[in-house]
Amino acid sequence: MAQRKRYFYKRDKRMRLVPKIVIALLAATGLASPVAADANQVSLLNWGEYIDPVTIDRFQTETGTKIIMDTYGEADEAEARLIARGTGYDLAVVSMETVGRIIQAGAIQKIDVNVIPNAAGVDQELLDVFLQSMPSAEGYVLPYLWGTTGIVYDLKSVAERIPNAPTDSWALVFDPENAAKLADCGITIVDSVEEVLAAALVYLGSDPHTQADNEIDAALELIAAIAPYVRSFGSNQNDELTHGEICLAIAWSTDGLTPLLGAQRERYRYILPKEGTNLWADVFVVPSDVASVEPSYQLIDYILRPDMMALATLYTFGNNAVPASSAAIDDPNFDLPALAFPHDMQVPLYFVKPRDGHEKRALDRRWRRLQIGH
């Protein structure tokens, strides 16, 4: 595959400067998003740069229905907009870990898969794995893309600074001595408190879903100990990696695999640490206040077509949930094990289970204080 001329941003940073309270207020007044004005429009809320423009163009041409797109940059933003209601969205793609709170708020409705023919092509085993972490989501979601959270590192830079580096372990970054040695070439950590906290917990031998205050405190103290050596907590690591600006990142697979699928395949490695790591998923949900579910279901059904899901994987490097799409992914670069559902992997994998609103807000406050201290 030729080097890509664009860089995929699963977590687009454009909205990060907007305080969440402002987002919620805008959503409540209907100003945070375009509203589908008639039956020939469908309004979609999605991560930035998370759907191939070809899919949008073909849908509009084949159906005569125009897609009104609105994007966000952090999972919390989508959650706040949906819970605020009245935004006019017909369909949204959200992080699985937010779904429980959105359901609890009554902001989304169940999806009738019987009227979405292509839902039958979704990998049921994969969906079952998703739902094991959140049984309450059954009937409310259909998977779009999924991936893992791991470590991507520069082979040469790490070897020069840490001979015999523990490149199969979270110790590569969570051990302060290692982090200090890599500080000069650049470390970044994905800005996702629940996922990074879970990684620190499993590194310390704790349950990633623990609610024990002493274990959570220990994990946050571990992250705080390496924070002085971290260049940034952000979401544009694929760009930084591609330009050689950093040598190690805790990253989503969609970012961490980007340079491996391009011209720098031999420079970097993406690993799932032996202590365990999380699977993440982005799913379709239908807001509870849609005027009609027909446009929502029409768009879901179209995107779940195997050829459209193949485009989604090629465009985003995200794993998709439709096995039949693999026949349309004719690209030798897409042969990495990390792009396949890890049925038989030795690394323990888990989904980050959602914390309730109070717990999440408390974690967010501590996470931001940690970053400010950095």
Where does 243-356 have alpha helices with state H? Answer: 253-256, 294-303, 306-316
The answer to whether residues 254 and 147 touch, using CB atoms and an 8 Å cutoff, is: yes
CA–CA separation, 95 and 38 (whole Å) = 28
DSSP states along 117-169: GGGGGS-HHHHHHHHHH-GGGTTT-EEEEEEEEEEEEEHHHHHHHSTT--TTS
DSSP secondary structure letter of residue 99? H
The percent helix, strand, coil of the chain (3-state, each to 5) is: 45, 20, 35
Closest listed residue to residue 93, CA positions, set 105, 106, 102:
102
Residue 277: φ, ψ to 5° = -155, 170
Both tokens assigned to 124: 């049921």
How far is the CA of 234 from the CAs of 117, 188, 244, 250, 309, in angstroms? 38, 7, 16, 10, 27
Helix-then-strand count for the chain, H and E:
15, 12
Instruction: Name the nearest CA neighbour of 10 among 51, 55, 68.
Output: 51
Q: Does residue 49 have a known ligand-binding role?
A: yes
Name the nearest CA neighbour of 57 among 284, 323, 311, 310: 311
Annotated binding site for spermidine: 49
Annotated binding site: 49
